[in-house]
């Protein structure tokens, strides 16, 4: 099999449900990082450069092989907010400048922290260092609703001791292609990654929120959870990009077909009032570390 560079599926914003109940108001019960450094990122490589020294990515934390630290490299302030609050781009209105303001974050995570607590730590960090405040608005727009299909759920719950492989803080991983030209992963776990319009995602401890975030990035619209599922699951998912995206990706299931056939999850297009989030206040320079 020939070696390729896997192209990371653009999970720019999250769709992990409503984590926004405490907008701009850090409750005393919110956990905090033991230590956290927030610094402006190094300048991006010049136009046309193939350098990967400024990839925008976060790694480590609960559920990875490095649970005691959480690091973001060259992450825009808008994406840091979206990550912390589980917001899709279609539900989030940040200041224009916040997409270009990039920061490096290095934080020490207390032992025993959960993924949900990590999100609260990120929120607290943004409130404290950038004086972030937000508010809700309602907007009429199309969305997808996800339910369990009529033939039942096809995902299996992950074993209690299952560990998600941590992201390598270096260059994006080198992948190989299987016989059908889908990305294959060393050790059998990785993704979601795509190559030439073909995507593969194999992982443990996947939540419904993780699935929603992938769907939202593919569809460009809000995806709402109506499954009632609260567990963490093992998945091994293959799909090709829909032809509506203008990609000739060959024969294979679309992401909608793949979710129903391989995971037992159905998607229905609807239109209605969707909650969006608007930034009220955000400092351009963080307070000192």
pLDDT digits (tens, 9 = 90+) for 72-113: 999 999 999 999 998 877 788 899 999 999 999 999 999 999
Element (H, E) at 198: strand 198-206
DSSP string, 258-283: HIIIII-EEEEEEEEEEEEEEEEE--
CB proximity list for 6: less than 8 A, separation 6 or greater: 172, 173, 174, 175, 183, 190, 191, 193, 194, 195
pLDDT in tens, the chain (289 residues): 443 333 333 333 333 344 444 444 444 457 899 999 999 998 876 554 433 344 678 999 998 889 999 999 999 999 999 999 988 777 888 999 999 999 999 999 999 999 899 999 999 999 999 999 999 999 898 999 999 999 999 999 999 877 655 444 444 556 688 888 888 887 777 778 888 889 999 999 999 988 998 888 788 888 899 999 999 999 999 999 865 444 444 578 999 999 999 999 999 999 998 888 999 999 999 998 7
Quick one: tokens of 54?
Answer: 């400024």
User: Residue 43: how many CA atoms within 13 Å on its side-chain side?
Assistant: 4
Cβ atoms within 10 A of the Cβ of 164, count? 18
- What is the structure's pLDDT at 227? 96
For the segment 208-237, what is each residue's pLDDT rounded down to a tens digit? 988 998 888 788 888 899 999 999 999 999
- What is the structure's pLDDT at 275? 85
- What is the structure's pLDDT at 14? 37
Quick one: tokens of 49?
Answer: 């450069």
**pTM beyond 0.85:** no
Backbone phi, then psi, for 69, in 5-degree steps?
-145, 155
- What is the structure's pLDDT at 195? 83
- What is the structure's pLDDT at 114? 92
- What is the structure's pLDDT at 90? 75
The answer to whether 88 and 21 have CB atoms below 8 angstroms apart is: no
């Amino acid at each position: 099999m020939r070696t390729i560079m896997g192209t990371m599926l653009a999970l720019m914003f999250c769709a992990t449900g409503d984590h926004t109940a405490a907008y701009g108001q850090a409750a005393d019960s919110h956990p905090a990082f033991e230590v956290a450094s927030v610094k402006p990122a190094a300048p991006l490589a010049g136009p046309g450069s193939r350098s990967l020294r400024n990839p925008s990515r976060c790694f480590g934390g609960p559920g990875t092989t490095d649970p005691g630290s959480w690091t973001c490299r060259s992450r825009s302030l808008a994406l840091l907010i979206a990550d912390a609050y589980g917001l899709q781009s279609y539900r989030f209105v940040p200041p224009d400048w916040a997409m270009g303001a990039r920061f490096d974050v290095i934080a020490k995570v207390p032992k025993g922290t959960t993924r949900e607590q990590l999100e609260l730590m990120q929120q607290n960090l943004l409130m404290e260092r950038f004086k972030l405040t937000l508010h809700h608005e309602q907007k009429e727009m199309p969305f997808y609703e996800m339910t369990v299909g009529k033939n039942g759920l096809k995902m299996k719950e992950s074993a209690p001791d299952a560990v998600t492989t941590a992201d390598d803080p270096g260059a994006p991983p080198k992948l190989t292609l299987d016989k059908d030209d889908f990305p294959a992963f060393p050790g059998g776990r990785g993704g979601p990654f795509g190559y030439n319009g073909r995507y593969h995602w194999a992982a443990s401890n996947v939540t419904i929120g993780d699935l929603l975030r992938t769907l939202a990035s593919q569809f460009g619209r809000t995806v709402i959870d109506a499954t009632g599922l609260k567990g963490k699951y093992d998945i091994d998912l293959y799909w090709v990009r829909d032809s509506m995206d203008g990609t000739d990706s060959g024969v294979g299931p679309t992401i909608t077909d793949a979710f129903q056939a391989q995971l037992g999850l159905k998607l229905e297009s609807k239109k209605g009032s969707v909650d969006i989030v608007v930034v009220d206040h955000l400092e351009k320079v963080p307070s000192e570390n």
